[in-house]
Chains A and B, each alone.
Chain A
Amino acid sequence: MAIIERPVDAPATDGGPAVVATPSSSFGYLRRPVQTKGWRSWAFSVDHKKIGIMYGVTAMVFFIVGGLEASLIRAQLARPEGHILSADKYNQMFTMHATTMVFLFVMPMAAAFANYMIPLQIGARDVAFPRLNAFSFWTFLFGGIFINTSWFLGGGADGGWFMYAPNSTTPFSPSDGVNFWTLGLLITGVASLAGAVNLIVTVLNMRAPGMTMMRMPIFTWMGLVTQFLLLFAMPVITVALFLLLFQRNYGATFFSVQDGADPLLWQHLFWIFGHPEVYIIVLPAFGIVSEVLPVFSRKPLFGYPFVVFSGAAIGFLGWGVWAHHMFASGLGPISVSVFAVATMAIAIPTGVKIINWTLTMWGGKLYFSTAMLFAIGLIIEFTIGGLSGVTHSVAPSDTQQTDTYYIVAHFHYVIFGGGVLGLFAGMYYWWPKVFGKLLSETIGKWNFWFMIVGMNMTFGPMHILGLQGQPRRMYIWTEQRAGEGFFNLAFWNLVSSIGTVVLVTGVFLFLVNVWHTTRKAPPAPADPWDARSLEWITSSPPKEYNFERTPTVHALDEFFHRKYEDVGTGDQHEYKKVATGEDVIAEEVAHADAHIHLPSPSYWPIMLALALPIMAYGVIYHTLLIVAGAALLIGSVFGWALEPSTAPESDFDPPSDGGETSKELAVHV
């Protein structure tokens, strides 16, 4: 469906029979896909909302995969001399757990929200490059599947998610696992880079009239900073991945110490990417929390400009701290000191955010919805993780902590307590908008508490385990090393593993909630939370074209100001409700656009995406596959370039009523 034209005096309607337009003769060798229902309407869709949902579902599946991998790790470490996993399998398990969680769950889940919400929050109908958006999703999906086929093709990667070379080179890591890892991340990296260009152009160029940069919602702002981080960080890991790939497969000597190579080359390249990466993980969550807290505190975000600038500052300063991951690598005291100080500095803008969030809630009328609980949970848990992070920045302490479970504790508190809790807040907050139903608050509360208790039981003891000397990445611990007294390893490892069960139950409860909601819940209103931003001025779920008419923005929290009038005097603000969300939407419907043009679906994004894993298998198995993949790549690029981005008029059958102003899509039964 490419053109929606409504008769001038007919109200906008929804639903209707499956609409199929006559395929056009395009210059390219494939006609345009035309289905509006069924699997093909998803596979060839360029609609940012469908793409966002696909990102979210895929990310959730990988969350479960990563969770299974984690569960096996904790099962192995629950008791001394565990025999659930061999040493080799254990190495694969923690490598794949981290890789899956970081690259295939957290980042794509954030992409799901960014794709779905950013165009809506800025009042746009789609992103700047819709086919590129579809390409990004399919590339990510195929890359993620590709990495995981390693399990069946010789074993997963086993060098740790940071894959230090030369340990990850062939002599020390002979199976194909690392090759799958390298090629898979090259593929998903392409997806991220394309997505970054797309979203940055979207935010800069497609804002609704009146939406200045400083009137954008914070989720969009944090999304923008995140995309800049992706834009500049992905190329650096791309270099590292290529160097490792060439070393492992084509005999290059970049990491051959006997030839004079320096192992720190890998470490620098990886961590120049790796540190911005952790802000890529957490900033979207910070953005979500900055949306949720004001709504459920019935107060505007405190210090909006400070939240914006501190987010930008984190993004900027994050480029100057990477070697704090290398304090024990022999950099020397000067380098270590410089990076230690820079690392301490970065705690400041983060602290600014925590203060602003807290002051948002202060004096507000708090409503503890599940989304709000997750948001508050983030503030607390991330702060704990941040505090242990500050202890790492003190390089002499870090020398004690590094490579122990103390580090594992830190990053799980910030990634899970920060990133994941934020994402769950987003799910509960935006679920009604995306799917038209409210997740159950009752099950939601159980979900939340199990996750919070579970995460603290799992990761809390790791502080102790680490300071007591339990190393990372060790598949086994012995009774003899466990020690005695309150801080013995045995007790706390067991607590941690039991905590995993509680945590997994919490995640399971989320899935139960989704299933229950899908089956039982009634339709949700358009504005269930009395929210503040533009994405709520749509039906639940939104129409394909998002807005009945492009909104004109007059203020920050535009939607809020359309519902509430300030009747206070002088400096005092007093807000009186003058309209409901439904009223505001009805106003938009009454002035709906008569002509709305949407980008047309296309075969090329998914086909181009398919070429990449084919070439990747070719690198591992047979050069002929590289050639075949390259042929598909070139063909798809040409097909894409030759295809007009919107289907021409000739795609559509003549109007059914013979008029000229009303063109209805031909209806095929």
Chain B
Amino acid sequence: MSDTTITDPGVSEPDPDDGATLDEATDGTTLVDEVIPTATDGSRSDDGLDHLGLAHHTSTGLSNTKLGMWLFLGSECLMFGGLIATYMLYRNRQGDAIGPDQLWDIPFTSASSFCLLMSSLTMVLAVSAAKRHDDRNTRLWLITTASLGGLFVAGQVYEFTTFYREGLGYTTSLFGSSFYTLTGFHGVHVSVGIMMLMALMFMLSRNKVAGDKAETVEMIGLYWHFVDIVWIIIFTLVYLIPA
């Protein structure tokens, strides 16, 4: 089954029982708005049971959190786009100082790029394991993802210190400022992702993830993949395309 298009809800009575389990996402989503359908004679049927069991019904049938995450990722395109555009404008403006083609160590950067790319695979495997309720493998793949991410960040730190020693400081030139700002923002995003992965592992192990665990893993996965695709762009535009 491929893409399903949204259709409008039309005129319908609310579904009294979604059959879903007690599930709420970990952020502020919550509205369990339960309606007890009324009989046509105006009397109210109330079985007295607390229907907290319903996950909240949404107009599109899609999860609030997932919708929110994709919106956020859409907005991040504009942020990274601005940083990338700034870099592209200034990539050749190093004056007399050291320039891009003299600095890059493509084999090294390729290696750390592979790490990040593979971490996307391990993230997908973590989500897949979470959906199967395979806690052990979920944790395994999450740790692997975080480790690969950590390797990437370590690689970035090593690179930056090398470049600095070779003469590219943050304030050295427009090229320097733009390069470090772009890759720095990306690195911060990766680091935040690693922290979220570790927090997720901790919360999963203590059973503190409210609601649908698989969905939470999936949400963090979306963020993580996004950070990866930004790097796919940066790797090509910054490192591979000659200045």
- Distance A384 CA – B95 CA, assembled complex (angstroms): 50
- Closest chain A CB from B130 CB (angstroms): 17
- Among the listed stretches B42-50, B106-114, B137-145, which one makes contact with chain A, having 4 or more residues with CB under 8 Å of it? B42-50
Within 8 Å CB of B93, what residues of A? 259-261
Q: What does the 1/0 interface line of B155-181 toward A look like (CB < 8 Å)?
A: 000000000000000110110111001
* A638 nearest in chain B by CB position: B199
Within 8 Å CB of B31, what residues of A? 124-126, 128, 130, 206, 597, 599
- Closest chain B CB from A259 CB (angstroms): 6
- Distance A553 CA – B32 CA, assembled complex (angstroms): 19
Knowing A210-B11, A235-B82, A252-B177, the reply to whether A201 touches B64 (Cβ < 8 A) is yes
- Distance A640 CA – B71 CA, assembled complex (angstroms): 21
**Would you call A645 and B58 a contact (CB within 8 A)?**
no
Knowing A46-B28, A596-B33, the reply to whether A206 touches B58 (Cβ < 8 A) is yes
Q: Out of B35, B75, B173, which one reaches A232, CB within 8 Å?
A: B75
**B205 interface residue (CB < 8 Å to A):** no
Of B8, B29, B51, the most chain A CB neighbours within 10 A belong to B29
Knowing A124-B31, A130-B30, A242-B181, the reply to whether A645 touches B24 (Cβ < 8 A) is yes
**Would you call B170 and A252 a contact (CB within 8 A)?**
yes
Q: What does the 1/0 interface line of B68-85 toward A look like (CB < 8 Å)?
A: 100110111011001100
- Distance A200 CA – B62 CA, assembled complex (angstroms): 13
Within 8 Å CB of B12, what residues of A? 209-210
List B12-65 residues whose CB lies under 8 Å from chain A.
12-14, 24-36, 38, 42, 44, 46, 48, 50-52, 58-60, 62, 64
**Would you call B76 and A235 a contact (CB within 8 A)?**
yes
Within 8 Å CB of B89, what residues of A? 262, 265
**Would you call A259 and B173 a contact (CB within 8 A)?**
yes
- Closest chain B CB from A206 CB (angstroms): 7
- Distance A262 CA – B34 CA, assembled complex (angstroms): 57
- Closest chain A CB from B51 CB (angstroms): 7
- Distance A549 CA – B46 CA, assembled complex (angstroms): 14
Within 8 Å CB of A552, what residues of B? 11, 13-14
**Would you call B52 and A597 a contact (CB within 8 A)?**
yes
- Among the listed stretches A56-64, A420-428, A587-595, which one makes contact with chain B, having 4 or more residues with CB under 8 Å of it? A587-595
**A197 interface residue (CB < 8 Å to B):** yes
Within 8 Å CB of A556, what residues of B? none
- Distance A590 CA – B38 CA, assembled complex (angstroms): 11
Knowing A132-B28, A269-B82, A595-B50, the reply to whether A550 touches B44 (Cβ < 8 A) is no
**B154 interface residue (CB < 8 Å to A):** no
Within 8 Å CB of A231, what residues of B? 71, 74-75
* A549 nearest in chain B by CB position: B35
* A5 nearest in chain B by CB position: B50
Of B13, B33, B48, B176, the most chain A CB neighbours within 10 A belong to B33
List A632-650 residues whose CB lies under 8 Å from chain B.
638, 640-642, 644-646
List A189-219 residues whose CB lies under 8 Å from chain B.
193, 196-198, 200-201, 204-207, 209-214
* A233 nearest in chain B by CB position: B78
Within 8 Å CB of B208, what residues of A? 27, 642
* B71 nearest in chain A by CB position: A197
- Closest chain B CB from A323 CB (angstroms): 14
Within 8 Å CB of B29, what residues of A? 128-129, 645
- Distance A645 CA – B55 CA, assembled complex (angstroms): 13
- Closest chain B CB from A607 CB (angstroms): 14
**A429 interface residue (CB < 8 Å to B):** no
- Closest chain A CB from B198 CB (angstroms): 11
**Would you call B68 and A213 a contact (CB within 8 A)?**
no
Within 8 Å CB of A656, what residues of B? none
- Distance A159 CA – B170 CA, assembled complex (angstroms): 25
- Distance A554 CA – B10 CA, assembled complex (angstroms): 8
**A243 interface residue (CB < 8 Å to B):** yes
* A200 nearest in chain B by CB position: B71
* B14 nearest in chain A by CB position: A209
Of A128, A210, A642, the most chain B CB neighbours within 10 A belong to A128
Contact residues of B: prevailing secondary structure = loop
- Distance A590 CA – B11 CA, assembled complex (angstroms): 22
Knowing A205-B60, A235-B76, A550-B14, the reply to whether A252 touches B86 (Cβ < 8 A) is no
Query: How many positions in chain A have a CB within 8 Å of any CB in the partner chain?
Result: 75
**B232 interface residue (CB < 8 Å to A):** no
Within 8 Å CB of B82, what residues of A? 235-236, 238-240, 269
- Distance A250 CA – B33 CA, assembled complex (angstroms): 50
- Closest chain B CB from A532 CB (angstroms): 18
**Would you call B177 and A246 a contact (CB within 8 A)?**
yes
- Distance A586 CA – B60 CA, assembled complex (angstroms): 30
Q: Out of A46, A133, A213, A253, which one reaches B174, CB within 8 Å?
A: A253
**Would you call B86 and A254 a contact (CB within 8 A)?**
yes
Q: What does the 1/0 interface line of A263-281 toward B look like (CB < 8 Å)?
A: 0010001000000000000
- Distance A246 CA – B181 CA, assembled complex (angstroms): 9
Knowing A239-B86, A260-B174, A591-B42, the reply to whether A550 touches B64 (Cβ < 8 A) is no
Q: Out of B10, B33, B35, B199, which one reaches A641, CB within 8 Å?
A: B199
Q: Out of B52, B68, B79, B210, which one reaches A128, CB within 8 Å?
A: B68
Q: Out of A201, A554, A597, A599, which one reaches B68, CB within 8 Å?
A: A201
Q: Out of B34, B68, B83, which one reaches A197, CB within 8 Å?
A: B68
Within 8 Å CB of A234, what residues of B? 75
- Closest chain A CB from B23 CB (angstroms): 12
Of A193, A201, A210, A553, the most chain B CB neighbours within 10 A belong to A201
- Closest chain A CB from B138 CB (angstroms): 18
**Would you call B33 and A125 a contact (CB within 8 A)?**
yes
**Would you call B64 and A129 a contact (CB within 8 A)?**
yes
Q: Out of A132, A593, A595, which one reaches B27, CB within 8 Å?
A: A132
**A251 interface residue (CB < 8 Å to B):** yes
Of B11, B32, B59, the most chain A CB neighbours within 10 A belong to B59
Within 8 Å CB of A242, what residues of B? 181, 185
Within 8 Å CB of B26, what residues of A? 641, 645
**A463 interface residue (CB < 8 Å to B):** no
* A662 nearest in chain B by CB position: B48
Q: What does the 1/0 interface line of B203-217 toward A look like (CB < 8 Å)?
A: 100001010000000
Q: Out of A201, A213, A644, which one reaches B210, CB within 8 Å?
A: A644
Given contacts A8-B46, A133-B28, A645-B29, 20 further A-B contacts (CB under 8 A): A126-B31, A128-B28, A128-B31, A130-B30, A200-B71, A201-B68, A205-B58, A206-B59, A209-B11, A232-B75, A232-B78, A235-B78, A242-B181, A251-B170, A269-B82, A552-B13, A552-B14, A591-B42, A597-B52, A661-B48
Interface residues of A (CB under 8 A from B): 8, 27, 46, 124-126, 128-133, 193, 196-198, 200-201, 204-207, 209-214, 231-236, 238-240, 242-243, 246-247, 250-254, 256, 259-262, 265, 269, 549-550, 552-554, 590-591, 593-597, 599, 638, 640-642, 644-646, 660-661
The 4 A-B pairs at the shortest CB distance, nearest first, are namely A239-B82, A235-B79, A131-B28, A251-B171
Interface residues of B (CB under 8 A from A): 8-14, 24-36, 38, 42, 44, 46, 48, 50-52, 58-60, 62, 64, 67-68, 71-72, 74-76, 78-79, 82-83, 86, 89-90, 93, 95, 170-171, 173-174, 176-178, 181, 185, 199, 203, 208, 210
Contacts A/B (CB < 8 Å), 17 sampled = A27-B208, A128-B64, A129-B29, A129-B64, A130-B28, A197-B68, A201-B68, A204-B60, A231-B75, A232-B74, A252-B181, A254-B86, A591-B44, A594-B46, A641-B27, A641-B203, A645-B27
